[in-house]
Amino acid sequence: MTTSASPAVAFEDVTIRFRAPRGGVHTVLQHVSLEVRDGTFLAIVGPSGCGKSTLLNVAAGLLTPPEGRAVIFGKPLDGINKHASYLFQQDALLPWRTVLDNVMLGLAFRNAPRAEAEAQARGFIERVGLRGFEDRFPHQLSGGMRKRVAVAQSWIVGPRILLMDEPFGALDVQTRQIMENELLDLWQESRQTVLFITHDLEEAVALADRVVLISAGPGARIKGDYEVPLPRPRDVAEIRLNPDFMQLYKRIWSDLRDEVRHSYEAGNR
Amino acid sequence: MSAQQAESDAGRVATTTRKPLNPLLVLSAQVAVFVIVMGLWQGLAEADVLDPFFFSRPTAIVAQIWKWVATGFIWPHLATTLVEALMAFVIGTAFGVGAGLALARVELLARVFDPYIRILNALPRVILGPIFILWFGLGIASKVALAVTLVFFIVFFNTFQGIREVDPVVLNNARMLQASERQLLRYVYLPSAMAWIFSSLHTSIGFALVGAVVGEYLGAARGIGYVVAQAEGVFDTTGVFAGLILTSAVVLLIDLGINRLERYLLRWRPGN
């Protein structure tokens, strides 16, 4: 994949406010500016409720900020981001379609010929290890298998940007590590730009080239920006034993800890 | 886990500690309820505690139905009623789904029409019967119109609710995969509302038939409602009961058909 000279995703002075349920205005993000180079695996970490997902929705074009803007490959974003796929934390598959139909969905929406789309979908289903499950409905699969279907579904359309909102948050620890490694293997081949939201710092450092730390809300800002110069290809279980990993983890954690405490105390007030 | 393994394990599933009801027990209890109620009715009528002139008796009702069927007297009436009900069902469902979709998707329409829909739905439909006879005559059209007013609202409210309750995450996912508005409708909104629409079909098929029968009762030349009205005119209680029982039997049969269709179309749901 050729890399673009302009950043894949750029947030320019983005501020997000919501109308609070009891009147008044709740500011989620304040003056967030961030540039993500094409081909970078970026992890965004921060305490829960800080507005990480909101930022991702801005990049997806699902949410238009009242101030500031998102710029995708040099063009201001207007409407849905057509370069991006989105991997949600919750189940987002169509429950009334089979695994095969779900994986084909993006191609069907683009009016691709059925036979071609099906062949491609079967290939992706095999790549995520679900051969033999093509005709199952999502409720007949385990959580990890459904996540694999979602990965295939978002990958098949050949997105240049992958947006992931705590995609493995609901999985158990073992399944999660397997999925993280599979994700890295897939990514290693195509090297798209990834924006990966997580509250788990270990996951962030293990996966990413760069980690951005968002402060506790309300009015969250970018608090830290760290390069992760660890070697690739990586194995998420092994990389955690690397001394550089541990050093980097400690450094970011000391910044994150304060924010988590702030957000915890704000929640208890 | 391989697909084959999963397949072979499907028959050996764990059950919870709460014992499931024996289906045979349920069935025999149902039969017992039927026998007791009918036996009491028959017995009390025979003993003249219930005046057979007002209450008839089960054997007489069954004999009456059998006579209608054997002589072929009932078929044209039943056919008329079924045609009316079917037309009302199709028209009412089409308009109900259409209106439900439109109002659920366009906020302005929902706001504007909300009070009017409430007012119309609050109208006692039976009162509309005579007006429809004035407008559409004594033929089939006035009965269809009356039944449509019943079917439409049930389907409309259920479709509206079903569309409104579409999972926003599923919707956003489809939008990120670049579904057009039409594709969203076909792939997300309608299938998602399907469960609601189906639950409305169960009710609305009954109402379609009730609408048709009531319409016929108010004024017609044929149909089950007409037969009931004729029987009532000569104080033939047996005929009235026979007409009523025939109507519910038909509703029950159609409902079974819908059940099967529903099981097939909603097979993607857990537990189906």
**Residue from A90, A91, A109 to probe the interface with B (highest B Cβ count within 10 Å):** A109
So what's the pLDDT on residue A3?
66
Report chain B residues whose CB lies below 8 A from the CB of A137: 267-268
How far, in Å, CA of A13 to CA of A29, rounded?
A: 10
Q: Is residue A192 part of a domain?
A: no
Q: Are residues A24 and A144 in the same domain?
A: no
What the block records as the tokens of B246 is 């025939």
Residue B182 burial (CB count, 10 A): 8
Q: Does the beta carbon of A158 lie under 8 angstroms from any beta carbon of chain B?
A: no
CB contact under 8 A, B177 and A92: no
Q: Does the beta carbon of B272 lie under 8 angstroms from any beta carbon of chain A?
A: no
Residue A266 burial (CB count, 10 A): 13
- 8 Å CB contact between A7 and A37: yes
Hey, which residues does A227 pair with through a beta bridge? A210
Q: Does the beta carbon of B183 lie under 8 angstroms from any beta carbon of chain A?
A: yes
CB contact under 8 A, A153 and B177: yes
Q: Is residue A70 part of a domain?
A: yes
Q: What is the domain extent for residue B106?
A: 58-265
Identify residue B212 by its one-letter amino acid code: A
Residues 59-118 of B with CB under 8 A from A: none
**pLDDT band, very low/low/confident/very high, at A2 (cuts 50, 70, 90):** low
Cβ-Cβ contacts under 8 Å for A187 (sequence gap 6 or more): A41, A162, A194
Report chain A residues whose CB lies below 8 A from the CB of B192: 96
**pLDDT band, very low/low/confident/very high, at B3 (cuts 50, 70, 90):** very low
Q: Are residues A4 and A77 in the same domain?
A: yes
User: At A43, which helix (H) or strand (E)?
Assistant: strand A41-45
Q: Is residue A194 part of a domain?
A: no
So what's the pLDDT on residue B21?
83
pLDDT in tens, B142-174: 999 999 999 999 999 999 999 998 999 999 999
Q: What is the CATH number of the domain that holds B169?
A: 1.10.3720.10
Q: What is the tally of structural domains in chain A?
A: 2
- 8 Å CB contact between B183 and A112: no
Q: Is residue B71 part of a domain?
A: yes
Q: Does the beta carbon of B269 lie under 8 angstroms from any beta carbon of chain A?
A: yes
pLDDT: which is higher, B267 or B64: B64
So what's the pLDDT on residue A104?
95
Which of B172, B183, B194 is facing A109, going by the closest CB pair? B183
**pLDDT band, very low/low/confident/very high, at B17 (cuts 50, 70, 90):** low
Q: Is residue B171 part of a domain?
A: yes
So what's the pLDDT on residue A1?
52
**pLDDT band, very low/low/confident/very high, at B1 (cuts 50, 70, 90):** very low
| Residue B256 three-state SS | helix
pTM (predicted TM-score): 0.80
pLDDT: which is higher, A178 or B16: A178
Q: What is the tally of structural domains in chain B?
A: 1
Q: Is residue A222 part of a domain?
A: yes
Which of B4, B172, B180 is facing A62, going by the closest CB pair? B172
Q: What is the domain extent for residue A125?
A: 90-158
Taking alpha carbons only, the member of A235, A161, A221, A228 closest to residue A28 is A221
pLDDT in tens, A117-173: 999 999 999 988 899 999 999 999 998 899 999 999 999 999 999 999 999 988 888
pLDDT in tens, A49-61: 778 889 999 999 9
Q: Is residue B50 part of a domain?
A: no
Report chain A residues whose CB lies below 8 A from the CB of B183: 108-109
How far, in Å, CA of B128 to CA of B146, rounded?
A: 7
Residues 137-156 of A with CB under 8 A from B: 137-139, 153-154
Q: Is residue B25 part of a domain?
A: no
A49 dihedral zone (left: phi>0; alpha: psi -120 to 50; beta): left
Strand ranges for chain B from DSSP E: none
Q: Is residue A186 part of a domain?
A: no
Q: Is residue A218 part of a domain?
A: yes
So what's the pLDDT on residue A268?
63
**At residue A22, does pLDDT exceed 80?**
no
**Residue from B8, B9, B171, B173 to probe the interface with A (highest A Cβ count within 10 Å):** B173
Q: Are residues A111 and A221 in the same domain?
A: no
pLDDT in tens, B190-241: 998 888 888 888 889 889 999 999 999 998 889 999 999 999 999 999 999 9
Q: Is residue A36 part of a domain?
A: yes
Q: Is residue B196 part of a domain?
A: yes
Q: Are residues A255 and A147 in the same domain?
A: no
On the CB side of A201, CA atoms within 13 Å amount to 22
Q: Is residue B19 part of a domain?
A: no
Q: Are residues A73 and A138 in the same domain?
A: no
